[in-house]
Amino acid sequence: MHMEVQPDSGVAGVDDRERGTTATQRRQAILAPGLSPFPEGWYFVASRQAVQRAGLIQKSWMGENIVVWSDADGRICVAEAICPHLGADLGPDAGGRVCDGRLVCPFHGYEFDATGQCVATPFAPAPRTAKLRVFETHDIHGLIFAWWGVDGRPPQWTLPTEPLEQDGWCNYEIETLRFPGHPQETTENSVDLAHLRYVHGYDNVDRPERMSVEGHRLLSNFNFRRVRTIARFAKLTFSVSAKTHIYGLGYSFVDIREHSIGMNMRLWVLATPVDGKLIDLTLVSQVREIRKPRRLFVGLGFLPPPLRAPLINKFMALQQKEDVLQDVVIWGRKQYTSRPRLCRSDGEIMPFRYYCAQFYPEPCDSNGAAT
Ligand code: FES
Ligand SMILES: [Fe+2]
């Protein structure tokens, strides 16, 4: 079902029947005074390149202590960093290591394959019941995500599954910023057009279409113009159309067309709760090869085409980071306001929150019933 949300409809008039939550539950969720720190969904873990480079990564992710590694066939395992034998920490600081694609526990040498199953021990056959608690993963061209479900429930929906065209696209620039925040608050920026003008100084901000929602997916389009000063004297004007595809609160993908140079760009904004207070906001960007720039961009025309996109990507990634740092000043100090006093120019804040409510399902009791 494809649903369009009327900009001023607030929470009324939206059909919930296909979303597994009742209208009343949604209203309660969006008007609750605080946000649960771990909304259900897919959250970024690491890039495949970072996993392969490090061998074994340990991190705090969605309030969980996890390890991540890959076997020789490229299967990635994201698992709780606790050994099911006698509870040793499996991270590299405690002596955990990967040997022949298996994670080896530093305490008694249990070995785990990329499904989390214990497949060997040094002195006895592997106990069948020894299995790590693993998280389901999803790979988007080398970006590894894992599913975090309320009460450990399995994935309820998927991230995009169609292969991402890579022909002519440069490598990713990846940067992670950590600050106090919540993924709903950072994602809300995608529909908060007023802040684009006020915080980031964009001009001509315009929304060509209304935000639309289809189950766990939300699409928001906007156009803007942006003037940047480079090297203190050169003024550049960017004229941008951005389509933001949101899949839950951990995954926002922005498809960007810059008209004055004639450039296509991809930007992922990936918010991941760390511990209930801090979040990691990972920015991933990619620019498509620019064969015939419409205008000269800091000497762009003089560079051979294969060098243009990586260079522009570095520049754009810095710009994105600068923008996000402007937001971080606000995000890191703000409070969630469940009953915001909105004005006409705010538009779609409440329909966005109504969409978000599906990511806070009721916890289940041990019999699987909603409590
Ligand atoms: S605690 Fe891991 S092998 Fe014993
Ligand atoms: Fe922003």
User: Rg for the chain (alpha carbons), in Å?
Assistant: 22
pLDDT at 117 over 80: yes
CA quadruple 325, 326, 327, 328: dihedral, nearest 10: 40
Ligand 1 atom with least separation from CA of 83: 2
Q: Does one domain contain both 131 and 205?
A: no
pLDDT greater at residue 208 or residue 117 = 117
**In the beta sheet, which residues pair with residue 24?**
none
Q: With a 6 A CB cut-off, is 112 part of the ligand 1 pocket?
A: no
> Across residues 46-61, what is the average pLDDT?
97
Residues 119 and 179 in one domain: no
78 with 225, same domain? no
Closest residue CA from atom 4 of ligand 1 = 108
Q: How many CB atoms lie within 10 A of CB 11?
A: 16
Q: Domain of 187?
A: 173-354
Please say if the pLDDT value at position 20 is more than 60.
no
Which position has the token pair 């390890």? Answer: 67
Q: For residue 328, report the distance from its CA to the centre of ligand 2, in Å.
A: 9
Q: Is residue 56 part of a domain?
A: yes
Residue 152 host element (H or E): none
204 with 293, same domain? yes
Domain membership of residue 281 (yes or no) is yes
Q: Whose CA is nearest to atom 3 of ligand 1?
A: 108
pTM: 0.89
Is the CB of residue 143 below 6 angstroms from any atom belonging to ligand 1? no
In what order do the strands lie in the sheet containing 76-80?
A: 56-61, 64-70, 76-80, 134-135
Q: What angle do CA 48, 277, 190 make, to 5 degrees?
A: 70
Q: How far apart are the first and last CA of the chain?
A: 29
Q: In this structure, is residue 213 part of a structural domain?
A: yes
Quick check: CB of 121 below 6 Å from ligand 1? no
Does residue 346 share a domain with residue 198? yes
- 3-state secondary structure (DSSP) of residue 290: coil
Kindly report the protein residue whose alpha carbon is nearest to atom 1 of ligand 1: 86
**pLDDT given at position 371:** 46
Distances in Å between the Cα of 269 and the Cα atoms of 24, 190, 280, 320 are 30, 10, 10, 10
Statement to judge: residues 225 and 335 lie in one domain:
yes
98-126 CB burial, b ≥16 within 10 A, e <16: beebbbbbbeeebbbbbebbbeebeeeee
Asked if 291 contacts 303 with a C-beta cutoff of 8 angstroms, the reply is no
Q: How far is the CA of 195 from the centre of ligand 2 (A)?
A: 7
pLDDT of residue 284: 98
One domain, residues 62 and 194: no
Are 179 and 110 in a shared domain?
no
Are 337 and 195 in a shared domain? yes
pLDDT in tens, 119-155: 999 999 999 999 999 999 999 999 999 999 999 999 9
- How many structural domains compose the chain? 2
> Which ligand minimizes its atom distance to the CA of 111?
1
Phi and psi based region of residue 361 (left: phi greater than 0; alpha: psi -120 to 50; beta: remaining): beta
Residue 15 lies in a domain: no
Cα of 254 from ligand 2 centre, angstroms: 13
Banded model confidence at residue 56, pLDDT cuts 50, 70, 90 = very high
Distance of CA 8 from the midpoint of ligand 1 (Å): 57
Residue found by looking up tokens 């306001």 in the block: 337
Inside any domain, residue 128: yes
Mean pLDDT, residues 170-179: 96
Same domain, 137 and 191: no
Q: For a pocket test of ligand 1, which of 67, 86, 99, 119 has the largest count of ligand atoms closer than 8 A to its C-beta? A: 86
- Both tokens of residue 172? 């990713």
Clarify whether residues 131 and 180 are in a common domain: no
Residue 294 in domain: yes
Centroid of chain to Cα 194 = 23
Confirm or reject: Cβ of 120 under 6 Å from ligand 1.
no
Cβ(250)–Cβ(270) below 8 Å: yes
State whether the beta carbon of 105 lies less than 6 angstroms from ligand 1.
yes
**Dist. CA 167 → ligand 1 center (Å):** 46
Per-residue model confidence (pLDDT) at position 290: 78
115, 148, 181 - which closes a domain: 148
Amino acid at 4: E
Identity at 99, one-letter amino acid code: C
Residue 16 placed within a domain: no
Contact, 184 vs 39, CB < 8 A? yes
Average predicted confidence (pLDDT) for the chain: 88
Domain CATH code at residue 129:
2.102.10.10
Distance 361 CA to ligand 2 centre (A): 28
Q: Which atom of ligand 1 is nearest to the CA of 88?
A: 1
Kindly indicate the confidence band of residue 293, based on its pLDDT and cuts at 50, 70 and 90.
Answer: low
> In the predicted model, is pLDDT for residue 34 greater than 90?
no
pLDDT-derived band at 18 (thresholds 50, 70, 90) equals very low
Q: How many CB atoms lie within 10 A of CB 72?
A: 9
Residue 100 region, left (φ>0) first, then alpha (ψ -120 to 50), else beta? left
pLDDT given for residue 11 in this prediction: 35
Counting ligands in written order, the one closest to the CA of 103 is: 1
Probe residue for ligand 1, chosen from 108, 123, 129 as the CB with the greatest number of ligand atoms within 8 Å: 108
For residues 228 and 324, membership in a common domain is answered with: yes
pLDDT band at residue 316 using 50, 70 and 90 as cut-offs = confident
Q: 168 in a domain, yes or no?
A: no
Residue 319 CA, ligand 2 centroid: distance in Å: 12
Ligand 1 within 6 A of 315 CB?
no
186 alpha carbon, closest ligand: 2
